[in-house]
Structure 1
Amino acid sequence: MPAVISRRSLYCLAAAASLLALWPAGAATADDPPGSSTPPPPASGSGGSSDGRSVAASATHSQIRLSYPKGGGGSGKKGNLAAIDPNWKPPACWYEPVFTPEGLKDFVKSSGGDGDVGIHESWFGTGLWTDHYKDGKPEANFDDPSSMADGYKNYNIGKGGYFWRSVAPDESDPDSWQCGRIMFWQPAGQVPKIPHAPTPKMLAEYAYNRVKIPETKIELKPQAKSTVNVPTWVWLDKGTFKDVVVRAELPNTGLWAETTAKPVSLHLDPGTDDADTFPSSGTCNFNTDGSIGTPYKAGDANQNPPCGISYLHATDGNPYQLKASITWKISWKGTGGAHGDLPDGTFQTTQDMNVQEIQTINR
C-alpha cells in the first residue's frame, strides 16, 4: 500500500538514503511536531480547483480571489502595511473548497494520487486516495490520531458539494497546525461549522496583508538643506493619499469581504533628539480636504509651521535620517452586513536631512 508521507518526513527520507526503502512499506508517518528543528522542503504535490479542473496547487496556495476596487492602480512604489498592534497577525490557516467529487476523481486518476490532503500531510500513490475517498475506509485526522474521519463512497459523486482542504500561506508557522483535518466533504451552499472555517472577518484579515500603500513622499521647504533653528515646513497636498480598498472573495462559499485603509495622520521622526517637531507630538493629522500641514509661502520664515521640524544642531557630514510614516485606519465589511475594524497600520519611508550652521537664510 502506498505510504502517507508528510512533506517534512519526505524531506528527511530523501536526505537519508538508508530510509528510502521505507517508501513502499506502507508506513503512515506524521510530521515532526511544532518546534522541530527539521527544515521543511518546498511544498510538493498537486491540488485541484473546485470547478473540477486540475491545477498546480498545494495546501500552501489559496483560491481566494483578490481585487482592488479603489486605490490599487498607479505605477509608483508601494509596500505592505505594518500593523501597529505587535500581537496582531493575519490568519495562519483555514479551510476552503478545493475539489468537486468529479474533480477529485479526475485528480487521482490524472496525477497518480500525489498530492496534499492537508497542510502538513501529503499522500503519494492512488491507494490511500481510493481507500478513503472511493472505497469508504475511515482515516485518522492528522491533528489527532484518535480522531477518525469517515470514508466516502465513489468520491460522493452525485451528491454535489465540495471537498474542503486546509490552507496555510506559511506552513512553517506553528499556528498552521491548528488546521489538522484531512480533506473532507461539505454539501454545496454550506460553510462547515468548525474551528478555522472561513468567515467574512477572516477574508478581511487576509486582505489586510495584501493592502498596497503608496510610498510616503512629503514636501519640504527648504528642500535641499535645513538650517539650525529655522523650521523646515512639511506638507502633503490634497489627493496625495487616498483610501485603498481590497476585496477578497472565496469561490463556492458566497463569502466576501472588503478591507478599506484610510489615511489619517503623518508622523515625523527627525532622526535625532536634537530637534523640535510641530506639533510637539510629531503627529500631523489630515485636514478635511485630505491635505496635511500648510505649504510654505513667502513671509512664513519667522513662523512655526503647523507641521514641520526645527533642528537644533548641524549635521557633521552624516545626514539625519528623517522618518515619515502615514497611519492608516483599517475597517472592513462583508457578507451579510458583517463589518468591523482591524488594527491601524503604518507605512514608513526615510530620507536624508542635512542641516547647516547658519542662523539666517534667504527665502
Structure 2
Amino acid sequence: MRALLLSLALTATTLSLTPLTGTPLTVTPLTGTSLTAAPGGDPGGPRGDSFGSGRTRGVILRNSKIVVSGNGLGGKSDGYRVQRPCWYEPGDKADDMLERQEDVRDYWFHTNPDGTTEDFDKFLKQYKDKVGEDGRWWTPAYNAADPNGLACWSGLEGAVWVPAGQTPPAGITLAELYQLARAALTVPEPTINLSPDVKSYVNLPTWVWLTGVGATTRSVTAELPGVMSATVTATLSRIDIDPGTTGNRAEVKENCGPTGHPYVKGGTWTCGVRYLRSSADHPQDAYQLTVTTTWPVTGGAGFTFDPVVVDAVRQIPVGEVQTTVRESGKN
C-alpha cells in the first residue's frame, strides 16, 4: 500500500547524484504502512503547473518539488512529450523524515481507528531504522499532463530509502529534467501583417512581417532545488513564406530576418510576396498565405532537441489592376 507522506521538503544541501554502475543498487521501500491514498485518486501534495489554465499544457507536476520558471512559459504546447510520466525525487534525510512521521500520529490513528500504539510503533520503526545512515528518502511524483501519469505514479512505492550519492531505479535524472523543461517550453503564435493590408494586386509587392512575437529568445528552467537544474532556450532564427500557390504565380522574397520587415514608404522590399496572377480562381477568391517561424532549441552539453516550428495563416485576396480606356471625340 502507498504511504501518504506529508510535506516532504528538500534541504539547501546540494546532492551528488550518480547513475548506477556495477552491482545493482538496493533500495528500501516502505512496508506495512497504513497511511494510504485512495486508489486511482489525486494524491494531492505540492503542485507546480508550468503555465496557466485555459491553454494546452505540456507539464502539470503533481507531488513534485521541481520548480518550472522562465519567459518561455504561458503559450500553447507544441506537443513535446516527456518519455517517462512518473519518477522518484530525493526528499528528507532520515532524522527529518522520522520527525515528520511522528508528527502525523493523530492523523494515523484517525485513518486507522482500529490501530494500536504497537501498530504505530511498527509503522515508525522503518524510519527509525535509517537514522544515522547517510542517505535520503525518495518519494514519487508525476506529470499529470500525460494520460498515463497517475497510473504510473500509483505503481511506485510511497517512499524508498536510497544511500547517499546514488539514484534509485526510476529516480529523476538530469536528462529527464531537461525533458520536463522542454515540454514546458512554449513560443508565441504570431500575427501576420501585410502591406497592402486588405487586398493586394497582381505585380504589386506585398510586404510581410509578424507582430505578437515579443522576445525572440525564450527559456525555461526546471529546477530540483538544492539538487540540479536544466535550462532549455529557444531562439527565433527565421521565417519562411509559403504564398499558397505555385512558383509561376508568385514571387517570394525571404530576406526577412527573424520577424520580417514592416512597410516603410520608399523602402526596399526584401520580405514578402508578389503575386503574378489573380486569386479569383481560388477558394474564397484568396490565396492562403502561410508564414512559418522556426525556433532552434538548445540545452546543456549533450542534450539536443528539434526546433519548435509554428505556422501562422492568413487569407490574401489578389485582384487585377483595372484600367479604363476612354475614347476622345472631336468637337
Asked if Structure 1 and Structure 2 have the same fold, meaning a TM-score greater than 0.5 normalized by the shorter chain, the answer is: yes
1:65 aligned to which of 64, 67, 92? 67
In structure 2, the gaps of 5 or more residues are 4-33, 48-59, 324-331
In the alignment, the residues of structure 2 paired with residue 187 and residue 133 of structure 1 have an alpha-carbon distance, to the nearest angstrom, of: 23
3-state DSSP class of the match of 1:95? strand
Q: Which residue type is aligned with residue 93 of structure 1?
A: C
Is 1:259 the counterpart of 2:248 in the alignment? Answer: no
Is 1:359 the counterpart of 2:326 in the alignment? Answer: no
Is 1:250 the counterpart of 2:224 in the alignment? Answer: yes
1:308 aligned to which of 255, 266, 273? 273
1:211 aligned to which of 156, 181, 185? 185
Shift of 1:262: 1.2
Aligned to 2:298: 331
Shift of 1:233: 2.1
Conserved 8 A contact 1:97-1:165: yes
In the alignment, the residues of structure 1 paired with residue 273 and residue 119 of structure 2 have an alpha-carbon distance, to the nearest angstrom, of: 67
In the alignment, the residues of structure 2 paired with residue 269 and residue 127 of structure 1 have an alpha-carbon distance, to the nearest angstrom, of: 71
Shift of 1:95: 1.5
Q: 1:127 to 1:206 in 2, by over 3 A?
A: farther
In the alignment, the residues of structure 2 paired with residue 111 and residue 127 of structure 1 have an alpha-carbon distance, to the nearest angstrom, of: 13
In the alignment, the residues of structure 1 paired with residue 114 and residue 133 of structure 2 have an alpha-carbon distance, to the nearest angstrom, of: 23
3-state DSSP class of the match of 2:68? strand
Conserved 8 A contact 1:226-1:354: yes
Is 1:89 the counterpart of 2:76 in the alignment? Answer: no
Aligned to 2:327: none
Q: Which residue type is aligned with residue 230 of structure 2?
A: A
Conserved 8 A contact 1:330-1:343: yes
1:345 aligned to which of 308, 313, 329? 308
Shift of 1:297: 4.4
Shift of 1:242: 1.8
Shift of 1:295: 4.8
In the alignment, the residues of structure 2 paired with residue 153 and residue 103 of structure 1 have an alpha-carbon distance, to the nearest angstrom, of: 9
In the alignment, the residues of structure 1 paired with residue 109 and residue 289 of structure 2 have an alpha-carbon distance, to the nearest angstrom, of: 56
Structure 1 residues 165-176: aligned runs within 5 Å: 165-170=139-144, 173-174=147-148
Conserved 8 A contact 1:266-1:324: yes
In structure 1, the gaps of 5 or more residues are 6-25, 32-39, 50-57, 115-123, 138-150
Q: 1:210 to 1:171 in 2, by over 3 A?
A: closer
Q: Which residue type is aligned with residue 249 of structure 1?
A: E
Conserved 8 A contact 2:78-2:186: no
Shift of 1:202: 1.3
Aligned to 1:225: 199
Q: Which residue type is aligned with residue 344 of structure 1?
A: P
In the alignment, the residues of structure 2 paired with residue 131 and residue 227 of structure 1 have an alpha-carbon distance, to the nearest angstrom, of: 88
Shift of 1:263: 1.1
Is 1:135 the counterpart of 2:102 in the alignment? Answer: no
Conserved 8 A contact 1:213-1:244: yes
Shift of 1:265: 2.2
Conserved 8 A contact 2:234-2:296: yes
Is 1:44 the counterpart of 2:42 in the alignment? Answer: yes
Aligned to 1:184: 159
Conserved 8 A contact 1:101-1:161: no
Shift of 1:235: 3.3
Report the identity percentage: 22
Conserved 8 A contact 2:44-2:62: no
Shift of 1:193: 4.0
Q: Which residue type is aligned with residue 143 of structure 2?
A: P
What is the aligned length?
Answer: 271
Q: 1:360 to 1:101 in 2, by over 3 A?
A: farther
Post-superposition CA distance 1:209-238 (Å, at most 9, x none): 22232331344221222224534222359x
Conserved 8 A contact 1:211-1:245: yes
Shift of 1:249: 0.8
In the alignment, the residues of structure 2 paired with residue 111 and residue 311 of structure 1 have an alpha-carbon distance, to the nearest angstrom, of: 77
Aligned to 1:235: 209
3-state DSSP class of the match of 2:179? helix
Post-superposition CA distance 1:71-112 (Å, at most 9, x none): 459xxxx523526xxxx5224222113454146405643644
Aligned to 1:197: 171
Q: 1:104 to 1:269 in 2, by over 3 A?
A: farther
Q: 1:234 to 1:155 in 2, by over 3 A?
A: farther
